[in-house]
Amino acid sequence: MIKTAKFGGSSLSDAGQFQKVAAIVKADAERRFIVVSAPGKRFSTDDKITDLLYRTAALARERQDFSAPFSLIRDRYLSIERELGLAAAHMGPALDEIEAALRTGQATADFVASRGEYLCARLMGAYLGVPMVDAAELVRFDENGAVDFSATARCCERLKGLDRVVIPGFYGAMPDGSVRTFSRGGSDITGSIIARAVEANVYENWTDVDGFMMADPRIVPEARVMHAVSYEELRELSYMGASVLHEDSIFPVRQARIPIQVRNTNRPEGGGTWIVNEGTLMKEHRQGLLAGIAGRRGFTMITLTKENLHKEVGFGYNLLKILDRHGISFESMPCGIDNLTVILNDADIRGKMDLLYHEIRTELKPDTVEIASSIALIATVGRGMARTVGVAARLFTALSEAGISSRIIDQSPKEMNLIVGVDQRDFEGAVRAIYRAFCE
Ligand code: ASP
């Protein structure tokens, strides 16, 4: 077995966290490809190294004094180096080099930001006593800034002969050799790309939570960790607000059918959450019908009624044309015989509602137009729901027992996702009611 293990910023925030990571890595000889983020926060008001680097880069570009943020960066690396006795990592000279590049005013923001993971990987390599390979030599972008998977695979060939290696996350190189970073949180993507390039059997993503929760624990304190979730389910849940891995980190491993395991550096004995392909999701992986529940506030529902609407050719098309004209996409569009509802994101229609209303009235000539704002959408997701009798009944009984009326219902034809819209003030109560109906 080959494992790629990526550790996030909170797993590397100080010397104590480095010790935990090293213990995890050493506990399993199969953990050969170690990808690291830059040190994150040690406590809630602390700075993330990457934020400090961006601040430093911006000041340096404007030829302003960047010593305040840069000394915080320096202190953090030097203290980890000192506390772990890693003089051989030569953090001092490496930091001096970065400072010199900043002084020229020419260092790009991407280059400066990438130094967070670069220095961290050097430290971790020294601590584990294994080589560090610069991500600029492994992860390659094409001219347009998209990952060049074949060039990356070729560059990663050299990794295959190594027993263990540390690789900085978050960046790679453009064809001209300049450093380019991914978007924030992008070390997840590096881990995924490396896992694919070395043909790993598992991509472990080590973070500071026990895995994905079946519901937001701020709303459902007793929410359980998902044992397993399919890529498809995860996509539905993350779209509806569950915060998960970096979105772009899924594709490389999903395509190569490599499962991801999300685990907690601070509680490595926990089983974490498996993210697997639909076909691999075994019955025994799943406790109950649901993968999880997620939701978002901030929607507006426009309901149009018109007699015999279902027979009027082009009604829906003309509505979408109006939305298109204003550059608005829709979330969902359930319809009945004489009515059609479109659900829109508040952020997309801000300042445009009066005009929209006017155009809908004059161009579509509906009998009535009803606008309901402050709607929350809640997605109940799980492929076990498909073809299971009584799922909807259970859900709506739970809502009605909680005194919550659903304003709209939408079920995808694959029956993997049942969306209900409720008044925003009922959002949390509805999530709790659904969770308890299915998971207790
Ligand atoms: N250090 C980068 C960030 O803070 C990338 C990462 O941590 O994944 O966004």
Query: What per-residue confidence (pLDDT) applies to 169?
Result: 98
- What letter does residue 311 receive in the DSSP assignment? G
Q: What are phi and psi of 382, to 5 degrees?
A: 175, 130
Tell me the domain boundaries of the chain: 3-208, 292-439
pLDDT at 10 over 80: yes
* Number of the ligand 1 atom closest to the C-alpha atom of 184: 9
Q: How far is the CA of 36 from the centre of ligand 1 (A)?
A: 9
Name the pLDDT band for 286 (thresholds 50, 70, 90). Answer: low
Name the pLDDT band for 392 (thresholds 50, 70, 90). Answer: confident
Name the pLDDT band for 261 (thresholds 50, 70, 90). Answer: very high
Q: Higher-confidence residue: 336 or 206? A: 206
Q: How far is the CA of 187 from the centre of ligand 1 (A)?
A: 6
Q: Which parts of 241-390 fold into alpha helices (H)?
A: 250-255, 315-325, 346-349, 353-364
Name the pLDDT band for 241 (thresholds 50, 70, 90). Answer: confident
Our mutation pick for probing the ligand 1 site, out of 7, 35, 114, 184, counting the most ligand atoms within 8 A of Cβ, is 184
Nearest CA to ligand 1 atom 5: 185
Query: What per-residue confidence (pLDDT) applies to 99?
Result: 97
Nearest CA to ligand 1 atom 2: 185
Helix orientation angle between 15-26 and 67-84, rounded to the nearest 10 degrees:
50
- What residues does ligand 1 touch, defined as CB less than 6 Å away? 9, 37-38, 48, 50, 116, 169-170, 184-188
Query: What per-residue confidence (pLDDT) applies to 281?
Result: 66
pLDDT at 21 over 80: yes
Query: What per-residue confidence (pLDDT) applies to 420?
Result: 94
Name the pLDDT band for 285 (thresholds 50, 70, 90). Answer: low
For range 413-430, the mean pLDDT: 90
Q: How far is the CA of 236 from the centre of ligand 1 (A)?
A: 24
Q: How far is the CA of 279 from the centre of ligand 1 (A)?
A: 32
For the ranges 30-39, 275-284, 414-423, which has the lowest average pLDDT? Answer: 275-284
Classify domain 3-208 at the CATH class level: alpha beta
Q: Higher-confidence residue: 235 or 396? A: 396
* Number of the ligand 1 atom closest to the C-alpha atom of 187: 8
For the ranges 55-69, 122-136, 281-295, 310-324, which has the lowest average pLDDT? Answer: 281-295
Our mutation pick for probing the ligand 1 site, out of 47, 48, 49, 50, counting the most ligand atoms within 8 A of Cβ, is 50
Nearest CA to ligand 1 atom 8: 185
pLDDT at 146 over 80: yes
pLDDT at 411 over 90: no
* Number of the ligand 1 atom closest to the C-alpha atom of 170: 5
Q: Give per-residue pLDDT as tens, 25-62.
A: 999 999 999 999 999 999 999 999 999 999 999 999 99
Q: How far is the CA of 73 from the centre of ligand 1 (A)?
A: 15
Q: How far is the CA of 26 from the centre of ligand 1 (A)?
A: 24
Strand partners, 16: none
For range 387-414, the mean pLDDT: 88
Q: Give per-residue pLDDT as tens, 314-352.
A: 999 999 999 999 999 998 898 889 999 999 999 999 999
Query: What per-residue confidence (pLDDT) applies to 294?
Result: 93
For range 155-184, the mean pLDDT: 96
Tell me the percentage of the chain whose pLDDT exceeds 70: 98
pLDDT at 284 over 60: no
Total-model pTM: 0.87
* Number of the ligand 1 atom closest to the C-alpha atom of 37: 7
Half-sphere exposure at residue 423, Cβ-oriented, CA atoms within 13 angstroms: 5
Length of the chain: 440
For range 171-179, the mean pLDDT: 97
Q: In this structure, which CATH number among 3.30.2130.10, 3.50.50.60, 3.30.1330.40, 3.40.605.10 belongs to the domain 292-439?
A: 3.30.2130.10
Query: What per-residue confidence (pLDDT) applies to 240?
Result: 79
Q: Which parts of 129-267 fold into alpha helices (H)?
A: 149-156, 187-197, 231-239, 250-255
Q: How far is the CA of 182 from the centre of ligand 1 (A)?
A: 9
pLDDT at 70 over 80: yes
For the ranges 13-22, 165-174, 231-240, 401-410, which has the lowest average pLDDT? Answer: 231-240
* Number of the ligand 1 atom closest to the C-alpha atom of 182: 5
Question: CB of 48 within 8 A of CB of 243?
Answer: no
pLDDT at 273 over 90: yes
Q: How far is the CA of 116 from the centre of ligand 1 (A)?
A: 8
Query: What per-residue confidence (pLDDT) applies to 277?
Result: 85
Q: How far is the CA of 134 from the centre of ligand 1 (A)?
A: 16
Q: Do domains 3-208 and 292-439 have the same CATH topology?
A: no
pLDDT at 262 over 80: yes
Q: Between the CA of residue 384 and those of 277, 284, 287, what are the distances in Å?
A: 14, 12, 10
